[in-house]
């Protein structure tokens, strides 16, 4: 099984990208701010294949773990140089996959894992040819966003699950009690592509 995350994560040039092992959590992140006007997407990454290509080892390890052998920890050191050591600069161009220590409730609840990126700021999709079969993209059509999101909440995947603290509970309560704006596809018979003059065209029953 790979790790998954919403579409936007793949396009940023952050040094550390947060992924999840839980496809439902990735789907929730992909849809939580969607208004249904556009398709959403979840990307699936094979972290073992990534590390085999970059690290030449078919494994994903937690480099910050106290129980990790020194020989395994040294494999990740080029991607995690000491920021105060001027002689030890980041030199690796490509990203690697790591598991984190479970020191935070959110990391545990979200089943987080990470890719640590090197000097190249391109997206993973651009860094590796498709023949490497590192990534797969799953598209959620805009018209299905509302139903899929409702199904997730019906399966107890919500803000309180992903953020197991008062902030997450507050977001859940606000969602339950607030007057949510209707999604653009509700009560629509069909939908046209966006118009350059008036936005998205619609036909009602």
Distance between CA atoms of 181 and 195, rounded to whole angstroms?
Answer: 22
Give the helix, strand, coil percentages of the chain, each rounded to 5: 35, 20, 45
Cα–Cα distance list, 46 to 76, 115, 186 (Å) = 18, 11, 36
3-class SS letters over 62-82: CCCCCCCCHHHHHHHHHHCCC
Task: Give 118-153 pLDDT, tens digit per residue.
Answer: 999 888 889 998 888 899 999 999 889 989 988 998
Distance between CA atoms of 118 and 179, rounded to whole angstroms?
Answer: 44
Strand order in the sheet with 135-140: 96-98, 112-116, 16-20, 3-6, 40-45, 135-140
Query: pTM value?
Result: 0.74
Task: Give 28-61 pLDDT, tens digit per residue.
Answer: 999 988 888 889 999 999 999 999 999 998 899 9
Domain ranges of the chain: 3-195
Angle at 188 between CA 185 and CA 189, to 5 degrees: 130
């Amino acid at each position: 099984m790979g790790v998954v995350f919403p579409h936007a994560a793949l396009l940023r040039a952050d040094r550390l990208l947060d992924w999840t092992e839980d496809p439902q959590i990735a789907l929730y992140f992909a849809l939580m701010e969607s208004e249904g006007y556009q398709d959403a997407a979840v990307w699936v990454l094979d972290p073992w294949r990534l590390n085999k290509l970059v690290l030449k080892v078919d494994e994903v390890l937690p480099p910050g773990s106290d129980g990790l052998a020194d020989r395994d920890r040294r494999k990740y050191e080029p991607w995690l140089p000491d920021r105060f050591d001027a002689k030890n600069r980041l030199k690796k161009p490509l990203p690697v996959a790591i598991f984190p220590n479970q020191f935070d409730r959110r990391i545990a609840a979200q089943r987080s894992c990470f890719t640590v990126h090197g000097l190249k700021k391109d997206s993973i999709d651009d860094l590796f040819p498709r023949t490497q079969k590192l990534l797969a993209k799953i598209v959620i059509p805009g018209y299905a966003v509302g139903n899929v999101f409702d199904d997730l909440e019906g399966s107890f995947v919500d803000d309180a699950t992903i953020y197991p603290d008062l902030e997450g509970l507050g977001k859940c309560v606000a969602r339950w009690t607030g007057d949510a704006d209707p999604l653009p596809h509700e009560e629509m018979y069909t939908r046209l592509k966006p118009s350059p003059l008036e936005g998205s065209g619609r036909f009602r029953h």
